[in-house]
Chains A and B, each alone.
Chain A
Amino acid sequence: MRRGAGGLGRAYMTGPRILACGDAAISVDFGNVIDLAVNARVMALDRALAAEPVPGVVETVPTYSALLVHFDPLTTDYAALCARVLALARGDRAQLAPARRWKVPVAYGGDLGADLDDLAAYAGMTPAACVEAHIAPVYTVMMIGFMPGFSYLGGLDPGLARPRRATPRPRVPASSVSIGGAQTAVGSVEGPSGWHLVGRTPALVFDRTREPAFLFEAGDEIVFSPISTGEWHRLSVLAGDGAMIVERIA
């Protein structure tokens, strides 16, 4: 039997499935899809659980189409947790707070976006048209993972999609804006990556010395605003001094 394919339709109709992840976590699975409506259900459940905490729950991790709930097996009533989660997942989502929206400056191409020209050639458009297509959408932070603060964004123009590089780069600079498959992302700290680098933001998505340390939450919205390389250097200095650089516009 293949439950994994799930089926978006069934998850919508019957609510999520609870999958065991050992004795200290459950995955509340809404179906194996990258879909904004499904992701919104994950976020809604996450907020509902935060508003009505279940004793024993340690922390939650929202991802594209599932919510991982970590709990202490010694103090959690497992049956009650599962029942509460399923009830909350069916609940009214009308009172959800609107998403926060951030304007994020990005310098595209050149040394700061080494793969922009390649990506443009692959997509059959000019680099400038690529940038236009990349700044057009309002993106949603669908998930944070992989590295601290690494934000996976939903909403990429399908014309910009490109499979990941066959050989990942061992080190990609912090704050890279990149495209991998049908997804785009804002990176945080330096790390390995097979994604195509289109630009870089001067903002530090994760800065352990700043309050807040993380700029984005899963569920936030992001619009990119193009800046020059010179402006990138100027703003990078300010970011290094603790400035947020990103601007909240909603």
Chain B
Amino acid sequence: MSRLVVERCAPGVSVQDGGRTGWRRYGVSTAGAMDRLALAVANVLVGNGPDCAAVEVTLAGARFRVAEGPVLVAVGGPGAVLSVDGLKIPQGASARADTGQMVEISAILGGVYGYLAVAGGIALPPEMGSRSAHLRSGIGGGLLTPGDNLPVGRGALTPRAMDQIPAHTSGAIRCIPGPQEDWFAADALDLLVAADWQIDMRSDRMGRFLVGPRLAPDERSMVSDGVLPGSIQVPPAGQPIILMRDCQTTGGYPKLATVISADLDRLAQLPAGANFRLALVERADAVAAAQRLAHTIAGLVAHPSGRIDSRRLLSANLIDGMVDATADPFSV
């Protein structure tokens, strides 16, 4: 069986797939890739299904040695830079790597999370229906460290390329009021959408901590209820936390609003210090956005590289629509 070995990795690198469902009633988080679209892009480039297990890499990158090859690798994520033995692989293309070669994601220039996909997928044994590592509980594994072995499943080794890499939408992060908007002052939702928010350093796979105006909820004690990725919960001190993929299943803080499912990927890619705004939308808008994202993922196609000439590959790179997440988030 093909195998990668972790040579170097920054903190925060883990195996993730489409996430774990059906166990939340027992307190088991879904986990799963912080950016599902980027995961899907990387997977499709190596011929995998969009939710297949890959390595989620954070800002500072990671390096892997092909202990048993050959393997076919590709990267997804805004501005993620992939190389094989130092030779840069263009975004939107996959490449073969043979036994002994080094595969490296050296940086993620336009975001926080990048994905190293391998044809056949990372073949660690699934736990409770998923290979996603939930870092707090250890279900599905934990953070990767140098020396870790990553078995690779069986997959075709035909290099592929994508005509156009889909971009995240731009503009404000969209949310729907509730479930506990009535625990806040009448102007709290106005403040939520009027404020310039900044992503705090403490943000991780569990939540994005926001810096901005105080949104203190009512002082009454709330009975714990269910929470989910996207919940904008506000502890008594008044600084909101947007829960992300590794969030707990229940929580005791009032939730002023909920980020729509289609905007979670984009939110995950905002680095610490980035400024952004929130906007309220109707349910119909949120469902339409979810439909567009699903359509984009279902429509991802990567052709065997032999079928497209180098000129086309070059132009594909030029029209690469990846948005720099550090750019002005108010642009439309």
Which residues of A pack against B, CB within 8 Å?
1-5, 19-25, 27, 29, 32-34, 58-68, 70, 73-74, 78, 143-150, 152, 188-189, 191, 206, 208, 213-214, 217-218
Contacts and interface: CB of A to CB of B under 8 A. Distances in A.
CB-CB nearest 8 A-B residue pairs: A68-B226, A145-B250, A22-B258, A19-B179, A23-B286, A61-B226, A66-B225, A3-B182
10 contacts: A21-B226, A22-B175, A22-B230, A25-B258, A59-B21, A63-B224, A74-B287, A149-B26, A189-B138, A214-B26
Quick one: which of B227, B254, B291 has the most chain A CB within 10 A? B227
A146 to B, nearest CB: 6
A147 B137 contact: yes
Interface stretch (B33-41, B48-56, B78-86, B215-223): B215-223
Given A4-B182, A4-B220, A61-B250, 12 more contacts: A4-B218, A23-B283, A24-B230, A32-B222, A32-B223, A61-B249, A63-B224, A68-B226, A68-B227, A73-B290, A147-B27, A206-B26
A63 B178 contact: no
A23 B28 CA distance: 21
B128 interface: yes
Contacts of A145: 27, 224, 226, 248-250
A147 B26 contact: no
A64 B177 contact: no
A20 B250 contact: no
B33 to A, nearest CB: 16
Contact of A208 (B25, B27, B139): B139
Contacts of B231: 21-22
Contacts of B260: 22-23
Contacts of B22: 58-59
Contacts of B25: 59-62, 144, 217-218
Contact of A19 (B137, B180, B220): B180
A148 B231 CA distance: 20
B194 interface: no
Contact of A66 (B128, B175, B226, B261): B226
A134 B269 CA distance: 48
Contacts of B224: 63-64, 143, 145, 152
Contact of A23 (B128, B225, B261): B261
B308 interface: no
B228 A148 contact: no
Nearest to B138: A189
A41 to B, nearest CB: 14
Contacts of A70: 21, 24, 228
A24 B191 CA distance: 24
Interface in B293-326: 294
A65 B128 contact: no
Nearest to A46: B25
Contacts of B287: 23, 73-74, 78
A68 B201 CA distance: 30
Contacts of A34: 223
A143 B226 CA distance: 10
A23 to B, nearest CB: 4
A20 B248 CA distance: 19
A144 B28 CA distance: 9
A65 B218 CA distance: 19
B244 interface: no
Given A59-B21, A60-B25, A73-B286, A29 B228 contact: no
Contact of B24 (A5, A20, A61, A78): A61
A125 to B, nearest CB: 26
A149 B27 contact: yes
B179 A21 contact: yes
Nearest to B222: A32
Contacts of B250: 61, 63, 143, 145-146
B258 A20 contact: yes
Contacts of B128: 208, 213
A63 B26 CA distance: 11
Contacts of A29: 179, 225
B176 interface: yes
Nearest to A63: B225
A61 B26 CA distance: 8
Contacts of B283: 20, 23, 78
Contacts of A59: 21-25
Contacts of A4: 180, 182-183, 218, 220, 222, 254
Contact of A22 (B21, B23, B228): B228
Given A22-B286, A59-B22, A213-B128, A27 B226 contact: yes
B27 A19 contact: no
A147 to B, nearest CB: 6
Contact of A1 (B138, B182, B261, B262): B182
A152 B179 CA distance: 22
A20 to B, nearest CB: 5
B176 A2 contact: no
B286 A191 contact: no
